[in-house]
Every structure is written in C-alpha cells, then in structure tokens.
Amino acid sequence: MDIHAKKANEALSEPYQDRARMLISCPDGPGIVAAVSHFLHQHGANIVQSDQYTMDPSGGMFFMRVEFDLVQLERKLPELKEQFTGVANRFSMEWQINSVSRKKKLAIFVSKEDHCLVELIWQWQAGDLDADIAMVVSNHPDMKEYVESFGIPYHLIPVTATTKQQAEKMQLEAVGNDIDVIILARYMQIISPTFIEHYRNRIINIHHSFLPAFVGGKPYAQAYQRGVKIIGATAHYVTEELDGGPIIEQDVQRVSHRDDVTELKRIGRTIERVVLARAVKWHIEDRILVHENKTVVFN
Amino acid sequence: MDIHAKKANEALSEPYQDRARMLISCPDGPGIVAAVSHFLHQHGANIVQSDQYTMDPSGGMFFMRVEFDLVQLERKLPELKEQFTGVANRFSMEWQINSVSRKKKLAIFVSKEDHCLVELIWQWQAGDLDADIAMVVSNHPDMKEYVESFGIPYHLIPVTATTKQQAEKMQLEAVGNDIDVIILARYMQIISPTFIEHYRNRIINIHHSFLPAFVGGKPYAQAYQRGVKIIGATAHYVTEELDGGPIIEQDVQRVSHRDDVTELKRIGRTIERVVLARAVKWHIEDRILVHENKTVVFN
Amino acid sequence: MDIHAKKANEALSEPYQDRARMLISCPDGPGIVAAVSHFLHQHGANIVQSDQYTMDPSGGMFFMRVEFDLVQLERKLPELKEQFTGVANRFSMEWQINSVSRKKKLAIFVSKEDHCLVELIWQWQAGDLDADIAMVVSNHPDMKEYVESFGIPYHLIPVTATTKQQAEKMQLEAVGNDIDVIILARYMQIISPTFIEHYRNRIINIHHSFLPAFVGGKPYAQAYQRGVKIIGATAHYVTEELDGGPIIEQDVQRVSHRDDVTELKRIGRTIERVVLARAVKWHIEDRILVHENKTVVFN
Amino acid sequence: MDIHAKKANEALSEPYQDRARMLISCPDGPGIVAAVSHFLHQHGANIVQSDQYTMDPSGGMFFMRVEFDLVQLERKLPELKEQFTGVANRFSMEWQINSVSRKKKLAIFVSKEDHCLVELIWQWQAGDLDADIAMVVSNHPDMKEYVESFGIPYHLIPVTATTKQQAEKMQLEAVGNDIDVIILARYMQIISPTFIEHYRNRIINIHHSFLPAFVGGKPYAQAYQRGVKIIGATAHYVTEELDGGPIIEQDVQRVSHRDDVTELKRIGRTIERVVLARAVKWHIEDRILVHENKTVVFN
C-alpha cells in the first residue's frame, strides 16, 4: 500500500506555493469587482481566475471567487487579510482567503457500505484529492484494517439507540477543532442538530437518490417501486432537515425495467462515488458558496 | 407547408406491408416462448425481432414483444388472430397483434405552450413519426392557423370552471372511437376519471419535471427553489393520480446556479420535446407494456 | 403563422436596454482585471456578470467577458469605446463592446435537410433566439414557402459544378455587409477560402458527427460501419480545413447495434438541432472567444 | 484486506446453480427461434430471458442470447450440448452454452497507471464482478504488493525493446490455457498478432479516447489540442489493427476550455474505469457477440 503513499506526498499543491483563493458573498451593489481587483492589484497579487455571479442585478446577492498569486504569500497573507477588512466592511462582505498550499483536513464517517470511502481514498492516493484524510470515524469495525493500511487513524465508535448521545460526544472529541470538513460517506446514522451546528455548511452527505425524489431510507427500493427510468445520487450539505440541505452536485444514469433493486444499488454505487468525490473536490478547492438553502458552485 | 406533406406520404411503413407486431403479458411459466415461436413458425411467419422479459423467474409476470413477417399478412391476419386464441388461453395471456402498415391515429391535446405540438408535427412531416395525426384539440385558439396549415383538423373547445363537464363531453365526441392514443402535449387541464377510463393506458402526458420530484404545478419554479443541479421531464400514461401514472420515459439536463426560472423553462422545453416524442414513438411502435404502475419498454 | 411573429416581437432584449457585453483577448499580465473593472466603475457602469480565463498563468493568453449595465448606454457607448482604447492598448487587447439591445443579424444557409433550419426558426419565434433572421440562402427551392411564411426573405441560389464561383458571388451580394453571423444549417456545399475570409470566425457549421471522428461526407454511414456505441454532432467555426475549425459545442447520444444508418440519422437530427441552436445562442450572446484553433466559451 | 475476500466468496452466482446462457450467431432464416425454444422446452429448460437480433431481415445474420434454468444443470449440460448439435448444424450456427455457476477466469494486464486495475478489484471484492481474477500480469513491479494483498498472483514480466518476444512467450506461459479473458487495464505495450490469435475476441482493451477519434498514443493531449468539448473512453476487443477492434462500450463526459491535459486525464480516469468495468461485466455475462468488426451487446 505504501506505493500509493508516495503519490499523495508529491502533492498537487506543490507548484502553487504562492496561490490563494478568496470567496466573497455580499449584497450586490456597484463597484465590488472594481474594489476587489483594485485591492489585489495594489497589493501585488495577480488574478489567475475570477468568477462572479449576481443573483439578481437589482437588490440581490453578489458572489465572487478569485484565485490569485502573490509572491511570498505565506508571509504576507496575515497582513493582506487584515487590510482587506476595509474593503469587506464597505460592502458588508462575508469572506475568506485560503492559501492553496495549506491542505484541508477531512474526517470521513462511514458505516458498512464501503464504496464511497474506497473511492475517496483511491482519489486521495492518486493525488486527485488535494487534502489530508485526517481520520475515519465509523460505528462498525469492518473497514478498520483497510483504512489503517494507509496510515489513516480509524475511530471505532459504536452507536446504539441508548448510547447515541454518548457516541456523538465521543465523535465530537475525536474530530476536535482541527477538521475542515466532515464527509458522510454513506454513514447511516442521523446527525444531531448540535453536531450540525458545530460544522454548519461543512458536513457533506451523499444521498443515494436524485433529490428531492426519494427522501429518507431505501431510496433504491422506492425508485424501483415507482418505475423511474433514470436513477441518481445527490451530494448536499447537512442541515436539520433530513436530506433537505443545500445541493452541491447530482448525477444520474439511465436504468430499465430489467434492473431490479439489487441492480439499481449496483449502478447507484458508481453514481454515488462520482458525485460525492466531485462535491468534496469542489469544497476543498473553495468553489462552493452557500446562500440560504442553495449553493453557488464556481467550477 | 405542402412540401412537408409529401414526406409524410412516402411513409416509413411502405416496405413493411407484411410485418406485424405481437405484444403479450401473462403469468410466467415454462414453454411460453416455445409455444409462441412454434405457433408463428407453423403459420409461415418469420420472426424478425423478439424481446422478452420475466419479472421474477418463479411466480412473476412474463412480457414478450415479437415482430414478424408473414406473406400476405393483411389477408391472413384475422385467421392468425383467431387461431392464436388457443395458445393465448393456455397461458392466460393478454395480447394484441398489430399490422405495422395500419397507422395508429393520434389526437393531440394542447393549451398555449406550443413546443411539444410543434415537435410532434415536425417529426411527423419529416417521416419520423409513423402515425396519422388525426386531430388537435385545444382550449385556446392560438395554434389553429398553424395546425390547419398542415391539413390537420383543429377542435377548439374552451374550458372554464363552469363548463368543464360539458367541454369534456365535447372532447369525447370529437375524439370518437377511432383514435388509438391521446397525447397531452402540455395540455394544462386535469382529465376526469371517466375520460381516463375510456383511454386506459392510451393517454400519454408530458410532465415538466423529473418525477416523482416536483409533482403538480410550476415544477420549474419548484426546481429553482430547491436548487437542483439537474432538471428533467417525464412522459407517463395518465391515471387518476396526478402525475402518478406509469412512467414511459425520462430525460434530464444539467443546470447551474446561473439558470433562473425562465432559463430552466427554456432548457426544459427541449427536454420535454425529446422525451414526449420518444414516448409517442415507442407507443406507436408497440414497444410498451404496462403492468400495475410500471412500464416494460422494449427498445 | 403570424401568431408566432408576436412572440418574437416582444423581444428578450427589451428589459436590457442599458446592458452591454465586453469581450477581451490579450496576453496575460498583472492588473488586467483591475484595470478593466476600475475603468467600468469610473464610467458609472455596474458589472452584472464577469468571466475570465487565463490559459496559462505565466506567459499565456487572457480572456474576459463582462456584462455590465450603464444608464443611457446607447448615448454613452461611442464615448465609452473611445476611452477604453487607452486601457486596451496598454494590454494589447483585441476587444469588442456590444449593446445587448442591438440584435445580431443572421443569414441561414440550408440545402434540402430542413431540421436545423426549422429548429432555429422555432426557437426564434418562441423568443429563445434573441436575433434577427435576416434571410435564408439555399441552393434548393424546397423550403421557400415555409421560410417566407414567417416573413423571412429566401434567396434561391442554385449551385452546380460549373456555376459554383458565380453562385458564391451571388451569395456574397445577398449577404451583404450587414450580416453578423452566417449559419450553415446542413448546407451541403463547400465554402471557398475567399468567402471564409470575409466572415472569419463568423460562419458556424453543424457537422453531423462527434469530431474529429468521421470528418467529411456520410458520417452516419461511417459511424455505423465502425460500430460506435455513441454518436454525436459538432458545431464549429468554418475554416479552410474541412471540418477542422474551432469547436464551439458538441453533444452525443447512446446508440446500439439495433440502430441502422437510417435510425442513426434520425437520432442524429435531434442532436444536430440542439447542438447548433446552443452554438448560435452562445455566439449571439457574445459568449465565445476564438484563440488559434480553439474556443473559450463562457456559459 | 481480508474483509473484502469474504464478500467475493459469497458469490453472486450462488442462487443460479441451474442457470445457463446460450449464445448463437448464424445466417438468418425462418424458424430459428422456434427451433431453439422448442429444443429447450423439450429438454425441460425454462427460458428466463431471451434476446435476439437480425441484422437485416433478408439474407443477413441472426444473433441470439438465451438464459435458461434447467434442474440439475451440471449433470445434464454435457448431453444437452451434444443434442443441440443437431439444431446447430441445421442452421450453421456458431454457438456456446455456459453454466452461470462456472465463473470465468480473468487475467488482468497492467503497466503503471493503476485506476482500471483498482476498479476491477474493487468491483470484484464488492461482489459486482462475478468472475475469478486468476492473475495480474505487469511489466512493472508497482502494483505487486497491492495485488498480492488480495491473494491474487502477480506475474512481473518486464518488457524492453530487445526482450519483447521473450517476454510475450513468458506471458503466454503465465496465462496458460485456463484463462477465459484477458483485460488490458491500461497495459501500455503492443500485443503481437500471435498473441492476439490465441485469444481472438477474448482480449479487452480500454482506450482512453472516444474512438475512432484520437487513435494511438497521448489521446488526452490530442483531445486538448483539438479543443473538443467532450472526452471519452472506449472498451474494445483487441485486433491486429491498433485501436481498431470491435467496440464493446463507450462513454463520455463534458469538459471545457478550463480543463488542461492534466485535468482531462483526471476526468478521463473515471470514464475509463466505468467503461472498462461495464465491458468486462458484459463479457463475463455472455452478453457480447462479435460479427466482423462490430459487436452485438444484449444488455
């Protein structure tokens, strides 16, 4: 397995030592792009990529993502952020600036179905997922040996009806304050509002249907029952409403009357893997802005 | 417009004078395929295409579609049907045999949105829809001139809350007993259970969402509200349950946060056109079998 | 047919009286976005949408598309353009600024296959194609009646091996200097280099294959012969190399061994229609920049 | 890793002890379906699924796939095959009957790119690939540890310009006579005609382009150069013509001007994995018939 570790080490981010990404949401108004790009230019930054979207030209919201290069970024970033506060306040911005070379830390939650976890680990070791998989948390021991073979810590925290609250406390401790994003890679337990509140817009779930169709349990059985001709999967941020959070990505595949529930699950596993991996990649690359219950994805 | 009429005349079905299609549904059991193919062979028919599906090998339903050529089909068909009764009864079959050269008669219902109607007429005049468009029925006058320019009768039957029952009576009279299938090409009125009963599994509706998501009115507005990343359309047979009948075909297209409701509608129109046209084509070519609330589509 | 004319009249562009689109290509370098957005801000314009792409951060090309609103645009546009010359020269820009309310003029070239023409006219009368179809040019009389029923002039210019040069002269005269873009909607004659030179990057062709597979004639027969499982269509700008120009858009659909050449053509017609309509829409909305033999499409 | 081995053991094929699949190719003529289904019925077999395709009703080829259940299949199969010879000879059939419970043996050839191999092993251990991976053959040591961790033998056979012939001899010895199908899972060496002859229509290659576009080396670089808007992958049987053999399956994904060669490769890896896995599954399930340079895939 060590052969893979090598690849992950020669990280994607190496050549981007001096690159940063800026995300902005604010009420729309004249002069925002000018102010931001002028600010960056003044501070010696070169804009490499810029995306922007106005929900409604008059009175709506404004969203922006900028990738820029700045020589000696690491040294200059704290000051840059401090000085940007002036621009930000003027336009009532919510904003963040992230250094590309600082890898995000992931905690992956999994139950017994392993395909989404295996996909994320494969993409990570292939160098396609530019992040650190800091830990795997599971309520089952099944994947322990596999996960640890990659040198990734595995927290086995069983969950039963009576120990649920205690288990969640242990999960919070395991995750700690250092994790950027939690991935529910077919983790089959409900997450409590308290837990969600700790990681608002930072918990990504994969639901095995084309939402909002087939909310809740056994979506493939529901799909078979309804006789749909296309099935899908949906990656979304977790909110208090079951399968109701902001949708990040969806994809589908054609099926036919010949496909029974087992076959739908088999086909679905590949859709789930691909959709979750895309959503995680976009989150890691700071491509997603959440507004109310929807996402703006700059990709 | 007459230039198009020519094409429709040099019909697709000409070379298939002696071809027929047989559709069978029955409880599964041993020997069905053997009995059917033996029967056809004995009567001098040559099987050109045969599809078959067993829902569940033990105790399920069996579905079959056979295309065959039989010299002097038209003369022999009545006797062939009569003699097939023996085979059919042995296996408790529901069945039909249709001559390919006998074109099915369509009645298209439309309101103000014209794209699905225009598509069907275009495919028909291009020779891609091997049927007769016997009439268009509408509650609005908007498309009258256009439809009549193709020599197709246009029945204008306004519908209001108070005249609904009377209007439906007029529709039934207009359609008569000679129509094989009714197409609701974005016809925005609810069809009564009585009407549906007359045309069980012979009324095809296009719903402008990926069912079962966004049942009912304004599905594009609902889709926008939910922030889905893919929109779709669904063709289904009409039953008493709103947007709940057997699904024939679905298709989808990717959208993004940039697409507002107007743009979703625009993108959706092309999906609706394509999905409805496929469903109609399959119905016309005897490719669809309905069982309970699902379809078997041999395509 | 007049019912449709109405829709086209209540044009999409009405609410965008004061909106303009700016397209820029130039060598990359620091400060471009800042300079452009600063310029627009200074002149009272509000950026509504901005897209930008750098081919290669160091030493590559830079592409930008900006939509902006400017009160009393029509009055101010000439001066705005003049003053922008300063910014443009500083960065060696190729650029254009187009008023959204000034509709582009299209000339559609067609031979006998009518599906792409019908699609464009349908989208135009539905209000989905925000342009003027100024004329149709054809080497066959087949579509004359249909086209003229929409009040669109039809130039019948027959082409034979011996009259080719003369015919092209007549085409150039018919098109004149007022046409923004020429659409080859399954026009089956080769265009001469002289003609292409007049409309560099302004002639859009639809090729009925997934280029670069199946260049040249009879692509569906070639596709059938090769046994591909997916067929496609490609919209591209016409260059001197047959089917070799910059690709604007492609799309595909799955086929099977059951589909013979006739069926491939039938399936393909819908792909062609959709792909060509998208490409034309993007051109009309100033979404396409050409660099060497490739396109940057901001959509 | 042993956790996975369990799953592969509780094989998909267990409940299908008595199921067999029959594949037939022959010149078309009347009575074939009747003869085959009558034969099976007479011998006590129950047809569970039957697909059939006639290339051209008059004078073309006929293809058929039948799945049937026969009590005590294993005991009766030799006799059934012997007796079927009569039917087969009458219609000049090429045919095979395979017991579903007899798993096919796979040899996977791989070089340095591991994604296709990892996918096949994952699908196999998930129980989705109902076959035995009998060995992996590679010209590089990179995947040895990984492959052997699943208990799969790894034959390291380096290939250089001078040792090519010798290496191929070693490969043939390693593969032996017991292997049903060879998978070139991004194996980057040319296979000799002699080798191909040994495994006619039993070597499946994944080519990383949408064939016939971009034959040969570096297809993603070629795709980038040409500026295509969609990339793809193709699984095909290997013939003497490079990337020219019968196509089994293809799939595609949309890309944009933003995707450089590295990104195309990344996107392509997922297409390659999915396409190859589907092709292997269909081969294993006896769904593919080859005729001249094309495949008939009953799925």
Strand order in the sheet with C46-54: A94-99, A19-27, A61-69, A46-54, C46-54, C61-69, C19-27, C94-99
Angle at D139 between CA D134 and CA D141, to 5 degrees: 85
The domains found in chain A, sorted by start residue, are 18-99 (3.30.70.260), 104-297 (3.40.50.170)
Predicted local confidence at residue B8, as pLDDT? 45
Predicted local confidence at residue C57, as pLDDT? 60
CB contact under 8 A, C295 and D257: yes
A245 touching B, CB under 8 A? no
pLDDT at B187 over 70: yes
**What subunits touch chain B, counting only 3 or more CB pairs under 8 A?**
A, C, D
Contact present, B136 and B153 (Cβ < 8 Å): yes
Minimal CA–CA distance to C39: which of A31, A57, A40? A31
For A222, name the nearest residue in chain B, comparing CA atoms only: B212
Alpha carbon distance C163, C277 (integer Å): 31
pLDDT at A9 over 60: no
Predicted local confidence at residue C148, as pLDDT? 97
For D227, name the nearest residue in chain C, comparing CA atoms only: C294
Minimal CA–CA distance to D156: which of D167, D164, D169? D167
Q: For the segment C164-201, what is each residue's pLDDT rounded down to a tens digit?
A: 999 999 999 999 999 999 999 999 888 999 999 999 99
Whole-complex ipTM: 0.92
pLDDT at B194 over 50: yes
User: pLDDT exceeding 90 applies to what percent of chain D?
Assistant: 84
**Reported confidence tier of residue C30, pLDDT bands at 50, 70, 90:** confident
Q: For residue B167, how many other CB atoms are within 10 A of its CB?
A: 17
Q: For the segment D158-203, what is each residue's pLDDT rounded down to a tens digit?
A: 999 899 999 999 999 999 999 999 999 999 888 999 999 999 999 9
Q: What are phi and psi of C237, to 5 degrees?
A: -75, 145
CB contact under 8 A, C53 and A57: no
pLDDT at B124 over 50: yes
Segment A168-187 shows an average pLDDT of 95
Predicted local confidence at residue B57, as pLDDT? 60
Structure tokens at B122: 């275009």
Among the partner residues B4, B143, B274, nearest to C270 by beta-carbon distance? B274
Higher pLDDT, D56 or C85: C85
- Mean residue pLDDT of chain B comes to 92
pLDDT at D12 over 80: no
Higher pLDDT, A12 or B210: B210
Segment B182-209 shows an average pLDDT of 95
**Reported confidence tier of residue A14, pLDDT bands at 50, 70, 90:** low
Minimal CA–CA distance to D242: which of D215, D221, D222, D223? D215
Length of chain A: 299
The residues with which A236 forms a beta bridge, in sequence order, are A205, A247
Burial (Cβ within 10 Å: 0-12, 13-18, ≥19) of residue D79: exposed
Predicted local confidence at residue D1, as pLDDT? 38
Predicted local confidence at residue B299, as pLDDT? 85
AA identity, residue C131: A
Q: For the segment D131-149, what is each residue's pLDDT rounded down to a tens digit?
A: 999 999 999 999 999 999 9
- CA distances (Å), origin D29, targets B43, B45, D40, D81, D93: 15, 11, 19, 22, 11
CB contact under 8 A, D126 and A146: no
> Residue A81 is inside which H or E element, if any?
helix A73-90
Q: For the segment D191-209, what is each residue's pLDDT rounded down to a tens digit?
A: 999 999 999 999 999 999 9
Among the partner residues C3, C122, C145, nearest to B145 by beta-carbon distance? C3
DSSP alpha helix (H) spans, B57-143: 73-90, 115-125
Q: For the segment C130-170, what is each residue's pLDDT rounded down to a tens digit?
A: 999 999 999 999 999 999 999 999 999 999 989 999 999 99
pLDDT at B298 over 80: yes
**Reported confidence tier of residue B231, pLDDT bands at 50, 70, 90:** very high
Alpha carbon distance A234, A46 (integer Å): 36
For A58, name the nearest residue in chain C, comparing CA atoms only: C48
Alpha carbon distance B232, B211 (integer Å): 8
Per DSSP, chain D holds a count of helices (H) and strands (E) of 9, 13
Predicted local confidence at residue A13, as pLDDT? 41
SS3 B247: strand
**Reported confidence tier of residue B10, pLDDT bands at 50, 70, 90:** very low
Segment A248-260 shows an average pLDDT of 96
C5 touching B, CB under 8 A? no
Predicted local confidence at residue C10, as pLDDT? 43
D:203-222 residues touching chain A, CB 8 A cutoff:
none
**Reported confidence tier of residue A6, pLDDT bands at 50, 70, 90:** very low
AA identity, residue B195: F
CB contact under 8 A, B143 and C3: yes
CB contact under 8 A, C49 and A54: yes
Predicted local confidence at residue D2, as pLDDT? 41
Burial (Cβ within 10 Å: 0-12, 13-18, ≥19) of residue D87: middle
Minimal CA–CA distance to C178: which of C153, C157, C159, C146? C153
- CB-side neighbour CA atoms (13 Å) of B244: 6
- CB-side neighbour CA atoms (13 Å) of A233: 25
Alpha carbon distance A24, A96 (integer Å): 7
**What subunits touch chain C, counting only 3 or more CB pairs under 8 A?**
A, B, D
Alpha carbon distance C276, D253 (integer Å): 19
**Reported confidence tier of residue B232, pLDDT bands at 50, 70, 90:** very high
Give helix C115-125 / helix C261-284 axis angle, nearest 10°. Answer: 40
Predicted local confidence at residue D14, as pLDDT? 52
Segment B116-127 shows an average pLDDT of 94
Higher pLDDT, A59 or A55: A55
pLDDT at A122 over 80: yes
Predicted local confidence at residue A106, as pLDDT? 98
Predicted local confidence at residue C11, as pLDDT? 41
Contact present, D297 and D287 (Cβ < 8 Å): yes
Segment B43-48 shows an average pLDDT of 91
Structure tokens at A109: 């939650």
Residue of B18, B130, B243, B259 marked catalytic: B243
Predicted local confidence at residue D8, as pLDDT? 44
Burial (Cβ within 10 Å: 0-12, 13-18, ≥19) of residue A269: buried
